[in-house]
Amino acid sequence: MAIYRIFPDKDSFIFSETSTGNAGRDEILEIAGYKGTIDGTGQASRIVTKFLDSEIDDVINNKITLDFTGSMSASLKMYLADATEIPVEYCLKAYPIYIAGSGEWDNGTGKFLDEPVNRTGVSWVYKNGGQLNEWSTSGFTALTTGSYGTGTAGGGNWYTASNGESMEFYQSHSISSNHDMDIDVTKAVKQIYDDDLPNKGFLVKLEDKYEFYTTASIRLKYFSKDTNTIYPPFLEFGWDDRTYDQGDLSLLSTDISTIDIKNNKGRYTDEGKQRFRITARPTYPTRTFTTSSVYLTNYVLPSSSYWGLRDENTEEMVVDFNTNFTKISCDSNGSYFDVYMDGLQPERYYRILVKTTLDGSTVVVDNKNIFKVVRNG
């Protein structure tokens, strides 16, 4: 598998309207620009999230390996729960968080609009619980900054650049998009791995023109790590580890074919890697003189073949077909692909799909190959 996911160590969102309030255990993360309910002034909400250094290192060292880091991508992904009054076009921006020295921000145990206000962790004004260590609002260190509206000082600090590379990452949306978050943060993750950039997490916000907005209530709500759904946020790594050596096997070329998964056990623990083998042959083989059945002859799929995983219950693509990162490999035994079971949510059922091009036709194979990932222990 050339797709692997890690999940946040901590996440929250900070909001200017209750500038000392914490939402570290809220099931929702919000990015917003809206008119305040108290005095009608512009307000904003921003997301902060962090992934562990040890998990980033483990993915690159033990799964991707240095041989494939040249093709590696890392994307910050979140699923939309709800949205209101979104613009026809807008942009989300993500930055590595800046905190001087060895400091950190606290996750906290609050929820949005707790009464009384929960001040146990990160907020619009403070990095830490108990109203300690304010975010900087002036005198920024080189290549770092922050921004806030009139009367709403705070809002976090972040890098604008590091080691000659821009640290501003963005995703543009139109009104017709699904509005899920998918922001490529590869440059930052590589610098974090190389110890060229301190890992304090990422801050995600609306583009400047829609923060502190007063003519609409723009709210984008995403599921947090504390969600009770199957949609927690994650950092998704992708890399091209495909090898393609068909040996003496013939290439499948007809779209009248039989394609299936040979070794699906149907149940796997959420650990390690599973290699799925594909059987492929023409449905009606050409007659030949042979001492064995032509129906036992295995073929390999074309190089433009990909695998995907669909959630069996929601019917959403968990791993979509990707021309860079879900390529199907082959060796002298046939076509195959690898799936890291610990990169999937446990206690879920997944359906394997195969997409290929045969005789000029694009074919998506669905033979109801379903497996369940179960929690180990």
User: What pTM was computed for the model?
Assistant: 0.92
pLDDT of residue 40: 87
Domain coverage including residue 282: 250-374
Q: Which of 21-30, 181-190, 291-300 has the lowest mean pLDDT?
A: 291-300
Element (H or E) spanning 222, and its range?
strand 218-223
Secondary structure of residue 54 in the 3-state scheme = helix
pLDDT of residue 284: 76
Residues 224 and 270 both lie in one domain: no
Q: How far apart are CA 276 and CA 264, in angstroms?
A: 7
Q: What is the CATH number of the domain that holds 360?
A: 2.60.40.10
What digits encode the pLDDT tens for the residues 115-133? Answer: 999 999 999 999 999 999 9
Q: Mean pLDDT, to the nearest integer, of 137-153?
A: 95
Q: Is 121 within the bounds of a domain? A: yes
Residues 163 and 285 both lie in one domain: no
pLDDT of residue 65: 82
Bridge partners, residue 226, by sequence: none
Q: How far apart are CA 199 and CA 195, in angstroms?
A: 9
Alpha helix positions (H), 70-128: none
Q: Mean pLDDT, to the nearest integer, of 83-100?
A: 97
Residues 221, 82 contacting (CB under 8 angstroms): yes
Secondary structure of residue 5 in the 3-state scheme = strand
Residues 192 and 272 both lie in one domain: no
Residues 171, 183 contacting (CB under 8 angstroms): yes
Q: Tell me which DSSP letter residue 34 carries.
A: E
Confidence at 287, pLDDT banded by 50, 70, 90: low
Q: Is 244 within the bounds of a domain? A: no
Number of domains forming the structure of the chain: 2
Q: Mean pLDDT, to the nearest integer, of 3-26?
A: 97
Residues 224 and 257 both lie in one domain: no
Residues 14 and 150 both lie in one domain: yes
What digits encode the pLDDT tens for the residues 329-359? Answer: 999 999 999 999 999 999 999 999 999 999 9
Tokens of 126: 């403070």
Q: How far apart are CA 337 and CA 356, in angstroms?
A: 14
